[in-house]
Amino acid sequence: MYGGFASIYDRLIDVDYKKIADFYEKVFEKYGQKPHLMLDLGCGTGTLTHMLHKRGYDMIGVDASEEMLMRAKEKDGDILYLCQSMTDFELYGTVGAAVSCLDCANYLLEEDELFKMLSLINNYLDPKALFIFDISSFKKLSETLGNNTFIFEEDNIFYTWENSFEGNILDMRLNFFEKDGNLYKRSEEEQTQRAYSIDEILKNAEKAGLICEDVFDGFSLNKANDDSERLVFVMRECGK
């Protein structure tokens, strides 16, 4: 996943990273946290990691894609990046906060994988530190994306996005055609996400020893509701 796609990822992903960074800081303020060292789990090409670093946080970025991390290092060579899996990562010590942005948990296709990730987070958080992560909701994966096909053209790239949803699994197939002079270079990316219910997330968090402080509607401080397409969970290490 995210192999050849890494080279065009930043050109296609339309994300307001400043809004996300602002949201994280509002959450830290709400819960009386002032973390110094922070983990960005599933950091991708490191855009958000770099932005948080510029705001004064010491950052560690973890991602399973070497290609994505190469892009991240180009943006900020002062950040420690580790090429590791979300379900089998190892840090050198604990951190004052952890974040995981833009569907990373949806790529954990089995509840056991979700539990392993949450358990590791709990292991590496300072006492009572926060873990903030988001998922695309069941409504978004099953209805908005569902069994639909989308066609886009932007920044000299034409691509199709074909989806198939069954049970709680969304299979996505993307075909990219990138303009290269008078020709188009074709590449393909296949991804799979799992739709989790709030109850499934909370059950595994509790089993992993984390306390859920809140579930927000997107990157806002509004409570999640039945129409929320992005769910943001604020978890706390229970403390010793």
pLDDT by residue, tens only, the chain of 240 residues: 544 555 555 555 668 999 999 999 999 999 999 999 999 999 999 999 999 999 999 999 999 999 999 999 999 999 999 999 999 999 999 999 999 999 999 999 999 999 999 999 999 999 999 999 999 999 999 999 999 998 887 777 788 889 999 999 999 998 878 777 777 777 788 999 999 999 999 999 999 999 999 999 999 999 999 999 999 999 999 875
**Closest residue by Cα to residue 81 from 59, 98, 102, 100:** 59
DSSP states of 98-146: EEE-SSGGGG--SHHHHHHHHHHHHHHEEEEEEEEEEEE-HHIIIIIIT
Give the pTM. Answer: 0.91
Listed by start position, the domains of the chain span 4-137+197-237, 140-194
Topology of the domain covering 140-194? N-terminal domain of TfIIb (2.20.25)
Please give the class, per CATH, of domain 4-137+197-237.
alpha beta
What is the spatial distance between Cα 101 and Cα 203, in angstroms, rounded to a whole number?
20
Whose tokens are 């990562």? That residue is 89
**Closest residue by Cα to residue 54 from 72, 76, 71, 31:** 76
What is the spatial distance between Cα 73 and Cα 61, in angstroms, rounded to a whole number?
10
pLDDT at position 10, please?
53
What is the spatial distance between Cα 233 and Cα 142, in angstroms, rounded to a whole number?
20
Please say whether the beta carbons of 38 and 95 come within 8 A: yes
pLDDT at position 2, please?
45
Whose tokens are 């906060």? That residue is 97
pLDDT at position 159, please?
80
pLDDT at position 6, please?
55
pLDDT at position 224, please?
98
